A and B are shown apart, each in its own frame.
Chain A
Amino acid sequence: MALYLWLGGLSALLFGLAAFSLWAALKARTHRMDVDRRLDVLGRDLFNHADALGRRCDALDLRLDALRAAIDRLTSHLGNVDDRARLLELERELARLAAGGRLEAAASARLEDAVAALRAEIADKEP
């Protein structure tokens, strides 16, 4: 009788252990699948974000390059406009100096030639 009781107890214990192992294995698998699924989702999200970000950066870079070029053109143009206005002013001042006898006519002509050369150069640079 005692032997049957002992065997029955051992069988119950083994069954319990097997059931627990099965439960633990199933639980771990479910957990792993869950984690995998979550990582997968996260990975896809990250990829999508990075891709979108990359595309935005590309577009932004292009736009920045275009903006930089436009600013350079504008700066150069404004510089030319400034220089042109300054050269016109210099021409008038030189004429006044010569007319007032404060600068020799020949010297005035030499400097006016230099001004004219600069004006021609700036005109060549205009877009």
Chain B
Amino acid sequence: MRVGLDVSKLGAPDGLGTFTREALGALTREAGGAHEFLTYDLLGEGGRIDAEQLAAARLLATPGTRPAQDALEAFVATSYCVPRLPAGARLLFVVYDVTFLSLPDCHTTGNRVHCLGGLVDSLVAGADLLAISHDGAHELGAWLGRAPESIPVLPLAPGPDFRRLTPEATVRQLAPLSLEPGSYVLSVGSLEPRKNIAALLHAHAGLPDGLRRAFPLVLAGSQGWRNEALGAELDAAAAQGDVRRLGRVDRETLVALYNGAALFAYPSLAEGYGLPVVEAMACGAPVLTSNVSALPETAGGAAQLVDPRSTISLTAALAELLGSDEKRQRLRTLGIAHAATRSWRNTAHALLARLQPQTRTRS
């Protein structure tokens, strides 16, 4: 079967970028030559993605010309874009989340128009919708009036780079950042309202002086959007030495940061999956995350859960975990075991199964 892949987000420093690289890469490798894969940059944001970039991302595919002209029999859409396809071609449309509908204030207007437009286009095209968590399938089903069971779920995983480092390697990698292992609380994500960094900042500020000074908050991630007030607060906290803003970091540094974190805090308001949770677990970081959306499912019982809208609860959870080596060690052990059960090969096989004609779920 000739299959088109939307690789628009290949190289993007977010969950979509990771999904494109890992899930589609694994799909092309696990297909074992049964399918021919052609790639397309439907968003056209990063210029044309060439064969060299595909090889670097270990995607066994060749750049296509136009989806409508390349005699495709199926297409995997990953960036809320629906291409024009040859008649009879199947469209698998991956819906990461519907927060553009449920949490509109957390998105820019342009992004909401884009995502909503893609979703409606996928309905018009009669696409098979795929979710990345059971919670996501449930929420999408509620919006579209479909049974959640009718929406297949793709299991996600931490990438192979996310692994435990030796203590010496962690020390060496953190040295340029002037950080020492076990001496900070880490949070990862772009500075956007949905990531709830403001609540984390306030919760951290509410810690007893000793704990707050011993475990400053380290933030890694891109600039984001709708964060003007937060930026000023972070600057003030940084001036007092309570917060370090690293901005966007490369994957190697991120792995070291996870490895060296006393605690990984991810109090997001909503996630379609929440990849950083399993990435942190794979690196041996104890995880504190939200008890809402897909995050409890992603955490799989291996993280401490907390109400992300309650600063008091967040502060209490931070204090409880930072004050107890034993509790953090327990979470660390649980997290490593949980992350080890996840694999992008499983994602690839779930996608391959959806490409079989008998698995069509279109309503």
**Interface residues, chain A, with chain B CB atoms under 8 Å away:** 79, 83, 86-87, 90, 93-94, 96-97, 102-104, 106-107, 110-111, 114-115, 117-118, 121-122, 125
Contacts and interface: CB of A to CB of B under 8 A. Distances in A.
Contacts of A96: 124
Given A103-B123, A107-B145, 12 more contacts: A86-B117, A90-B120, A93-B121, A96-B124, A102-B123, A104-B144, A107-B143, A110-B101, A111-B116, A114-B104, A114-B116, A118-B109
Contact of A97 (B101, B117, B123, B143): B123
A118 B145 contact: no
A96 B126 CA distance: 13
Nearest to A104: B145
B113 A86 contact: yes
A114 B114 CA distance: 13
Contacts, number: 52
- Bin chain B's interface residue count: 10 to 19
Contacts of A118: 109, 112-113, 116
B130 to A, nearest CB: 18
Contact of A90 (B101, B109, B116): B116
Given A83-B113, A114-B101, A118-B109, A93 B120 contact: yes
Contact of B110 (A83, A103, A104, A111): A83
A104 B144 CA distance: 7
Nearest to B141: A107
8 closest residue pairs by CB, A with B = A104-B145, A107-B145, A83-B113, A107-B144, A90-B120, A93-B120, A93-B124, A114-B101
A121 B116 contact: no
A109 to B, nearest CB: 10
Interface in B128-174: 143-146
Interface in B95-124: 101, 104, 109-110, 112-113, 116-117, 119-121, 123-124
Nearest to A121: B109
Interface of B: 101, 104, 109-110, 112-113, 116-117, 119-121, 123-124, 126, 143-146, 363
B110 A79 contact: yes
Contacts of B116: 90, 111, 114-115, 118
A97 to B, nearest CB: 6
B270 to A, nearest CB: 16
5 contacts: A83-B113, A93-B121, A107-B143, A107-B146, A117-B104
A18 to B, nearest CB: 76
Contacts of B124: 93, 96-97
A77 to B, nearest CB: 13
B112 A103 contact: no
Contacts of B121: 93
Nearest to B126: A102
Contact of A106 (B109, B117, B126, B145): B145
Given A107-B145, A111-B143, A122 B109 contact: yes
B113 A103 contact: no
A102 B119 CA distance: 14
B144 A83 contact: no
A122 B126 CA distance: 29
A53 B109 CA distance: 43
B120 A110 contact: no
B45 to A, nearest CB: 15
A83 B109 CA distance: 9
B277 to A, nearest CB: 28
Q: Which of A79, A103, A114, A125 has the largest count of B CB atoms less than 10 A from its CB?
A: A114
B76 to A, nearest CB: 22
B147 to A, nearest CB: 12
A83 B353 CA distance: 36
Given A107-B144, A117-B104, A87 B120 contact: no
A111 B143 CA distance: 8
B117 A90 contact: yes
Contacts of B119: 111
A81 to B, nearest CB: 12
A125 B109 CA distance: 10
Nearest to A108: B145
Given A83-B109, A121-B109, A110 B123 contact: no
B43 to A, nearest CB: 15
Contacts of B146: 107
B144 A103 contact: yes
